[in-house]
A and B are shown apart, each in its own frame.
Chain A
Amino acid sequence: DQQVKQNSPSLSVQEGRISILNCDYTNSMFDYFLWYKKYPAEGPTFLISISSIKDKNEDGRFTVFLNKSAKHLSLHIVPSQPGDSAVYFCAASVSGGSYIPTFGRGTSLIVHP
């Protein structure tokens, strides 16, 4: 059973607009959340994270929002650029445990020029 769910396999956005990638989780023990970005033929690279003590974390064009009551997080990219086209993985871990990140299946983002 998937503990981290990314229900949208793909997303298409126009350059300059906002991209919103969503992620849901089922394990209430998760308290640290991460987003990774993956280009073809490369390994995933860390993008941004958020601790459960916060509800928002911003880094340049990337912002992650966390709604603990809904067990939902989202990644906002503003403005979207063609170079953002990649697969985005949501991951979650338990800080008091082994910190092993559990990943979702990923969402493929395509940003059109």
Chain B
Amino acid sequence: DAGVIQSPRHEVTEMGQEVTLRCKPISGHNSLFWYRQTMMRGLELLIYFNNNVPIDDSGMPEDRFSAKMPNASFSTLKIQPSEPRDSAVYFCASSPGRSIQNTEAFFGQGTRLTVV
């Protein structure tokens, strides 16, 4: 398996523009996470899907952020409108399922977002 695939790897956009980040989880994994990494906060969870259903979106900063998982092999994180403070590395991760033996999350390489 190729692992978790994220696109694009880098995104530079102007303030106010819409940004869409994409993720393809590992086939067969039931859980999908979107994390944001910043120097101040480290890795913070934005949203968690289980079997394509959003379970916990309490980490989504504000209404400008939205995430979807239309099927088991694809998820998007959208920011509209984007702001400079959204600049960070965004990671998508997936894990096999809801058991103690399957807690390990597998991460993609991340999307480095810069909003100017």
Contacts and interface: CB of A to CB of B under 8 A. Distances in A.
Contact of B42 (A49, A98, A106): A106
Interface size bucket, A side?
20 to 34
Given A43-B93, A44-B107, A51 B100 contact: yes
Nearest to B4: A43
Nearest to B107: A43
Interface of chain A, main secondary structure: loop
A98 B48 CA distance: 9
Interface string A25-38: 00000001010100
Interface string B89-111: 00101010011101111111110
A99 B43 contact: no
Contacts of B93: 43
B48 A105 contact: no
Interface in B78-96: 91, 93, 95
Contacts of A105: 41-43
B75 interface: no
B13 interface: no
Interface string B19-42: 000000000000101010000011
A51 B109 CA distance: 27
A70 interface: no
A101 interface: yes
A6 B43 CA distance: 12
A68 to B, nearest CB: 16
Interface in B51-91: 55-56, 91
A34 B106 CA distance: 12
B114 interface: no
B7 interface: no
B50 to A, nearest CB: 7
Contacts of B115: none
Contacts of B41: 105
Nearest to B100: A95
A93 B98 CA distance: 11
Contacts of A43: 4, 91, 93, 107-110
